[in-house]
Every structure is written in C-alpha cells, then in structure tokens.
Amino acid sequence: MSYDKELSVALQACLQAARLCERVRSTIPEAIEKVDRSPVTLADFGSQALICHRIHNEFPDDPIVAEENPKELVKPERADSLKQIVNYVKEENNDVDEKKIVEWIEYGNGHVGQRFWTLDPIDGTKGFIRRDQYAIALALIVDGDVKVGVLACPAYGNDGGLMFYAVRGKGAYSQSIKSFGTTIPTRIYVVTNDNINNFRFAESVESSHGDQAKQNEIARRIGIQTSPIRMDSQVKYGLVACGQAALYIRFPNPHNLNYRENIWDHAAGAIIVEEAGGKVTDMNGKILNFRDNEKMLDNRGIIVSNGIIHEQILEALKD
C-alpha cells in the first residue's frame, strides 16, 4: 500500500496546525491548567481540532488517539477560552463554531486498533510557552507498525521551521514550513561518521522527563564527550534523523520508575529516524509497542540512535 493520500492529508493538516500554533504563540498565551497540572494552551486544543477534523473527513473509519480531551473546554469558566479557539481555527477553516470545535477535538478520543492515528497536537507544551522548541506529531499505525509519520517543528532552524516526515519503506524527508509546496523536499539521513568524537547526543530539557545523570554517564561510556543538546519534544527525533545528533536517550526518572511512555510522544519520530537509517528501541532493546495500548506498557525508556552505536548503548546499560 502506498499511503500517498494519508501522507498528503497528514502534511496539510499539520501545516494548518503549525500556522495556528504560531499565531497563538505570538500572543504569549496564558496556560490552562489540566487535571494532571501540566500546562496546555489554546493552541493544543486548536491544533487538535484542525487535525482531527481533517483526518476524520478523509478517513472517517480511522480512530484517532490524541492527547487532549475537550471536557476541559466545556466547563462554564472556560467559555472565553472556547470562543478564542473558535476565532483561531476560523483563520484556517471558516466553517466552525463552538459546538463543532468540541466535536472535532472529541474525534481524538478514539482507541487503539488495527489501523488508527495517534496525535500530539503540541508535543513540548512548556517549550511552546517559553518560545522554544515544540512539535506537532501525527502518525498512522497499522497492525502495530507506524506507516506514516509527520513532525511539524515551527521553531526549528532559521527559516520558519521544518517539517520532518516519512512513509514506511520510502525514506525520510525534511522541508521548510515557510516554503512548503514550493521547494523540493530534502532526503535526510542519520550521521554515519565512525569518529565518535564528532557525535552529539540529545535529551529533554525537563530533568523530570528522564534520568539526566544516567543518560550522560552512558553517553560518556561509549565515548561521547560533548555536552548534551537539550530540547523539548520530538524535535530530538528530527535531530537524529537529519544527522545533527547521533543519539537521543530518555531513561525513566529514578523518582518515577513506574512511568510508561505515551504512544503519541514517540510514534511519528520513530518512523522518521528509522527511515533515515537509524534505530529506535527501549532501554532493553525491545521494539516500541504501538499495538496494544495508548501507553507503551511493555517498554521502559527510549533509545534513539544512528544505528551504528545502538548495540554499544545496550551493552553499556547491561553494566
């Protein structure tokens, strides 16, 4: 199966969402506090509404498993926020009102199945709020295998951001968001230089998202001497895919060892790195399980590499 239509729809949906997110961010929005106390902005909801609406229109039988739930928006105290979201979304789709916004966001409350999409409307919300890196991450999963992945990274690079994307078996590509559709996509590859002294590794900005001491120790043990590149979101997958880093590691935080990763935080990035020639597993060398649950219950930690150093990382962890 070619998945050409799925890729085209996903790219256009993520481009719309990227434009909306940047408009919202230019106003320095205040965060809405979710039940779990993590920040979420008007852009998260607007992005999810646009993408879910487009995916549902084109593929009405495909469930969408997304991060946000509109129950936060239907509270009376959120009435003004809902109106603001409608206004932002209208700049991309004029046929919308408050009822439709809630309905479109609810399309993302689907369940994992044989074929489904998974979406993080803003991955790296804290980075978004502080005007740093974030990503809009969308992936199509069929029989547990990611077939299409798109990362819209509006703050990455110096020219209006980059889109990273891949289809299984067809390679990975990047293209400027600003000039998307008018320029030729660039085929991207992981770094293959065998001089490990030139390798960089990436990790999350938030120390609570991993075990930075252990991550730095493992990188040092395999010979990486440079300081880590710290970034929010799945932009780190893009770094590995385009050769700007050889490694991204995310080990469980020692204060929260029972934590399990969400599929929407890794599915899109994983296929892009793999199609660029890299490798993605958990810290035990197991492939990431996108088949059974929105949480990757069978996996612990994440290792994303150029492939060349992957076994070295796993061996260092055994010690």
Cross-strand pairs, 151: 137, 164
Task: Indicate the angle between helix axes 212-221 and 310-318, nearest 10 degrees.
Answer: 110
Instruction: Single out the catalytic residue among 41, 118, 125, 281.
Output: 125
What does the CA dihedral 231, 296, 140, 47 come to, rounded to 10 degrees? -50
27 noted as active-site residue: no
Provide CB contacts within 8 A for 258, sequence distance 6+: none
CA distance linking residue 86 with residue 92, whole number of Å: 10
Does the structural domain 4-188 have CATH classification 3.30.460.10? no
Nearest residue to 14 (alpha-carbon basis) of 127, 120, 171: 120
122 annotated ligand-binding residue: yes
Whole-model pTM: value is 0.95
pLDDT of residue 257: 82
CATH architecture of 196-318: 3-Layer(aba) Sandwich (3.40)
Length, in residues, of the chain: 319
| Cβ–Cβ under 8 Å, residues 140 and 6 | yes
Structure tokens at 102: 């809630």
**DSSP secondary structure string, 22-89?**
HHHHTT-PPPEE-TTS-EE-HHHHHHHHHHHHHHHHH-TTS-EEES--GGGTSSGGGHHHHHHHHHHH
- Work out the end-to-end distance of the chain between its first and last CA atoms, rounded to an integer number of angstroms: 43
CA distance linking residue 181 with residue 163, whole number of Å: 11
Residue 115: helix, strand or coil by DSSP? Answer: strand
Strand order in the sheet with 186-188: 64-66, 115-123, 135-142, 145-153, 162-167, 172-176, 186-188
Nearest residue to 61 (alpha-carbon basis) of 6, 115, 118: 115
pLDDT of residue 31: 66
pLDDT of residue 124: 94
4-36 burial, b at 16+ Cβ within 10 Å, e below that, comes to eebbebbbbbbbbbbbbbbebbeeebeeeebee
80 noted as active-site residue: no
Instruction: Single out the catalytic residue among 41, 44, 211, 281.
Output: 44
58 annotated ligand-binding residue: no
Which phi and psi angles does 157 have, rounded to 5°? 85, -170
115-148 burial, b at 16+ Cβ within 10 Å, e below that, comes to ebbbbbbbbbbbbbbeebbbbbbbbbbbeeebbb
CA distance linking residue 237 with residue 252, whole number of Å: 18
Q: What is the location of CATH 3.40.190.80 in the chain?
A: 196-318
| Cβ–Cβ under 8 Å, residues 117 and 147 | no
Query: pLDDT tens track of the chain, all 319 residues?
Result: 899 999 999 999 999 999 999 999 888 656 666 666 556 789 999 999 999 999 999 999 999 999 999 988 888 888 898 999 999 999 999 999 999 999 999 999 999 999 999 999 999 988 998 889 999 999 999 999 999 999 999 999 877 899 999 999 999 999 999 999 898 999 999 999 877 778 999 999 988 888 999 999 999 999 998 999 999 999 999 999 999 999 999 999 988 888 899 999 999 999 999 999 999 999 999 999 999 999 999 999 999 999 999 999 999 999 8
pLDDT of residue 119: 98
4 annotated ligand-binding residue: no
Q: What is the location of CATH 3.30.540.10 in the chain?
A: 4-188
Task: Indicate the angle between helix axes 79-90 and 4-25, nearest 10 degrees.
Answer: 120
